[in-house]
A and B are shown apart, each in its own frame.
Chain A
Amino acid sequence: MTGRCSNKSAWKKTIYLLLAAGTALLIAACSSGDTQGTASQDSQQTYDWAIVLVSSKTADALNATKDVPKYNGDISQETVESKPREGCVYLLLKLEIQKQASGAANFEWKKLSIQDSSGNSYQRMENDTFLETFGYSRIKSTDLTLGKNEGFVCFEIKKESAAGGLELIYEDPQGENRIKIQ
């Protein structure tokens, strides 16, 4: 009996496995592609310009490999690299900067800075257009006049500053807006 039972059980298991595998195959065949995450955003009503720090990252260098395809499928690759000055890293911030009321003063980049825990202060790089080459859509560097502005901006900061305790500071007409950079 035990033998029979165990045999039955084995066959059942096999059948279940087959069914499960079949179902999994069907599900896999019907399943769609990638999922995308969204970042949470806080609303900031008290400032002329609401600033949301969507993400941040530091990089010793930025690299991009451009695939140059041939029509037979061959691909030759060209690499472009951008490095910060010696002893520095790039700090890339993805920001959403939105004007809160019509007629308010422009958003001025000279009023935006990064401060580390030792009091070192950094301004946005004067020319960070290279970000686009590396796939980071950037916010333009002229004063912002209107609407919602989304994208990356780049700071060149000392390596030791990148260790932690960084804050993004904007001297808003309504008061200083400080955002901790995690």
Chain B
Amino acid sequence: MRKKAVKIIAVVLAALAGIAALLILSGALVRPTASSLEKMTEVPRYDVLEWQYDRETEILADYAQGGHTFENPYVITDPYDMNPCSALMIYETASPGSVRVTVQGDDAYSTYSYTVDISGTHCEIPVIGLYAGRENTVLLESGEGTTALAIQTEPLPADFQTIVLEKSVPEKMEPGITLTIACFNDSYTALLDSRGEVRGFLSNRNMAHGTSIILLKNGNMMATGDEFKQIPYNMASLWEFNWLGKVLREYEIPNAVHHGISELPNGDILAVSNGVDIFAKKSREDAVIIIDRATGAVKKEYDFCKILDDTRAPYSHFELDIKNQPAVDWMHANAAIYDQATNSIIVSSPIQSQVVSIDADTSSINWILGPPEGYEGNSARLQQYLLTPEGSGFEWQWGQHDPEILPDFDNDPNTMDILLFDNGQNRSFYKETALLPEDNYSRAVQYRIHLNEKTVEQIWEYGKERGVECYASYLGDADYLDATGNRLIAFGGQLRENGEPTDNIIGGVFGKVVTNSRVCEVTGSGEDVFEISICDNAYTSSAETYQAERIPLFSAASFKCKLGEEKGERLGESYKCAQSDMDAPKLFIGKLGVDFDDLHVEGGRLVATGAFQYDGQTYLLGKVVMTFTSPANTYVYETVNSLNGIFFFSLDLSELESGTYQISVAGGVREGNDTQNGKMMQGNVKTGYKVTVG
């Protein structure tokens, strides 16, 4: 009997094993049914351009019921949910003309006035520069008289960086408002007046961080959009916007942009970027691109792996402490500017402590500004381009940011004056002779390059005398201010651990180390006429300033378009993830989970930012793919992998057959700091989301 029973069990087990094997091999265990799809959540659809246009329609419908006049205008604060210190006023008038808008400040220097021209009877008046968390007084003056309005604004968010005014001599300051740009998406990009008060900020922290924000010739602002392609600031688009928060144009950039953008004489955009596939290229942040302003297309790419030497290895604190990095950050290009006089592009590499001029057409090197150490082996061919220092008091820059071409002060076409922010990181090519952070300093420095002689002299500096108080291992900016000749300097990334200076940049990026900053405006003679310190508080450790700019508060040309007249335009082409050659997993296994920071459908594209976790913790990411499974089809797509289990994803949904797809994520995370040899913990997890195509 027992034998028979054992046989029966064996047969049943074998049958079960067979059924299980069949189920696994057929993929039935991961294939959804109509009823299981029913229970999943459809990926939300969101498109900032659509949302803003719908919002305008909604505002107009609400406004239309009110019969608003100059004396009783319709007022909506923060109409696009972008800048809580802004408002829009709307009314009808019988007497078109100009309207003078005055936002009352705490003194004459912090009172802002500007004029809005009204061409028809329908008036839309942008109000920019309101204080946060206050009842603001705003005056409208026109041929119809004067109207005083009280506009209440939102308080600053609790985790807003703390701003302390150290000094202000407004009569000696450059006119305008100070724009401080965040580097990471856990601090805020803000507009500050001469008293250090916040008069505007971007509540969408995913936009406009880690990259310069520029005032375009057409009066609009340009900054990075809010879609990531890679941490912590490689962004997949640029937005042309105004300070009400209206996105007028979105340029999708498949390479992603980071650190620096500038406008070329023909309106095209010069941007610091990457190769399109930074993992195939095995290096990152070492390309410069030109974006066609009319089409958004990337029309030219400069690959600095081919121009410089990607094996030159100075001692720096930018590198992550991980083995077998999938994409080496050997250059960390942080600025690209164009010099029309010489048709050259000047690019800054802080890791290499190089400011390099190349011919814009041929990519051949004109000169390299930077310390002469480390030009052996593969780098020996670059020695011929090094500038030779001359004159007294000369010091090289180390880990610099934001070179800027200055006016021709000496009226000599053979010279070029450059102002840059010299972070001073290490002040040595070698670890053995590196300066400790507590002994270090940062400064703004002006060099004069003699182009024919290939020599360089130091003309001006500020910051060295302030020693470690102003030492910023990373981030920063130095700008020449045209009206006064003053310089605006951002000591941008002052890393402090228990109050002591440190060079732990990666700790700062991950929020383990406090990053504070300091913004100063000094005259040519070095008189400090404005200074603010930006500090951490109980709610944030991120108080860095990537860059600071002095800009006019109001640009009339930026507000020409009235509500409902024009939906923002999308140009260029987004990056798209490719199909993977990996087989779709047949089982859901492992302790893996996925946490989406962003998951939405924008137009015909699915966009995601997620973190792949093992047992609730993040690890070094091995690889992640996203799987789309319907009852009939299965697709597996690569993602853009990053650190800490983070991945980014962009899929053109037209590549999928019509149907409803269950979304799952498969892959593995690695223990330890070795991207190839760390113990891999892998699996496949259902996200609970579905997407419907067609």
Contact = CB atoms under 8 A, between A and B. Distances in A.
A76 interface: yes
Given A11-B5, A103-B65, A146 B20 contact: no
Nearest to A74: B617
B644 A69 contact: yes
A33 B41 CA distance: 11
Interface string A132-143: 110000001111
A26 B20 contact: yes
Interface stretch (B56-64, B246-254, B338-346, B563-571): B56-64
A1 B1 CA distance: 13
B578 interface: no
B188 to A, nearest CB: 12
A156 to B, nearest CB: 15
A75 B617 contact: yes
Interface in A1-32: 4, 7, 11, 14-15, 18-19, 22, 26, 29-30, 32
Nearest to A99: B62
Interface in B292-349: 320, 322
B133 A127 contact: yes
A66 to B, nearest CB: 8
A73 B620 contact: yes
A42 interface: no
Contacts of B155: 126-127, 129, 141
A39 interface: no
Contacts of B643: 71
Interface in B135-161: 152-159
B159 A133 contact: yes
Contacts of A7: 1, 5
Nearest to B66: A103
Interface string B6-42: 0011001100100010010000011000001001110
B394 interface: no
A132 B61 CA distance: 31
A71 B76 contact: no
A38 B661 CA distance: 24
A145 interface: yes
Contacts of B29: 26, 29-30
A80 B538 contact: yes
A14 B322 CA distance: 52
A130 B58 contact: no
Contacts of A102: 61-62, 64-65
A30 B32 CA distance: 9
A126 B158 CA distance: 12
B283 to A, nearest CB: 19
Given A68-B510, A127-B133, A142 B157 contact: no
B340 to A, nearest CB: 43
B359 interface: no
Given A127-B155, A129-B157, A133-B539, A68 B511 contact: yes
Q: By CB atoms of chain B within 10 A, which of A14, A102, A127, A130 has the most?
A: A102
B259 to A, nearest CB: 22
A4 B133 CA distance: 85
Contact of B320 (A30, A71, A142): A71
A143 B74 CA distance: 13
Contact of B588 (A4, A19, A30, A71): A30
B672 interface: yes
B562 interface: no
Interface string B474-491: 000000000000000000
B617 A33 contact: no
Interface string B53-88: 000001101101110000000001110000010000
B455 interface: no
Nearest to A30: B29
Contacts of B669: 73
B371 to A, nearest CB: 31
Q: Is the interface of B mostly helix, strand, loop or mixed?
A: loop
A73 B619 contact: yes
A142 B154 contact: yes
A70 B507 CA distance: 9
Nearest to B153: A142
A15 B618 contact: no
Contacts of A147: 58
B510 A132 contact: no
A72 B539 contact: no
B382 interface: no
B86 to A, nearest CB: 12
B328 to A, nearest CB: 15
Interface string A35-62: 1100000000000000000000000000
A34 interface: yes
Given A18-B12, A132-B158, A142 B58 contact: no
B617 A73 contact: yes
Pick the most buried of B13, B614, B618: most chain A CB atoms within 10 A of its CB. B618
B602 interface: no
Contact of B620 (A11, A68, A72): A72
A26 B8 CA distance: 22
A104 B686 CA distance: 45
Given A29-B29, A80-B539, A15 B673 contact: no
Given A32-B40, A146-B62, 6 more contacts: A22-B16, A69-B617, A70-B510, A102-B64, A103-B65, A140-B154
Interface of B: 1, 5, 8-9, 12-13, 16, 20, 23, 29-30, 36, 39-41, 58-59, 61-62, 64-66, 76-78, 84, 133, 152-159, 320, 322, 510-512, 538-539, 541, 587-589, 614, 617-620, 643-644, 669, 671-673, 686-688
A-B pairs, 7 with minimum CB distance: A103-B65, A130-B158, A73-B619, A127-B155, A69-B618, A33-B688, A129-B158
29 contacts: A11-B5, A11-B8, A18-B12, A18-B13, A22-B16, A30-B29, A30-B30, A32-B39, A32-B40, A36-B41, A70-B510, A70-B644, A71-B644, A72-B672, A73-B619, A73-B620, A73-B672, A101-B65, A102-B61, A127-B133, A127-B155, A127-B158, A129-B154, A133-B159, A140-B154, A142-B77, A142-B154, A146-B76, A147-B58
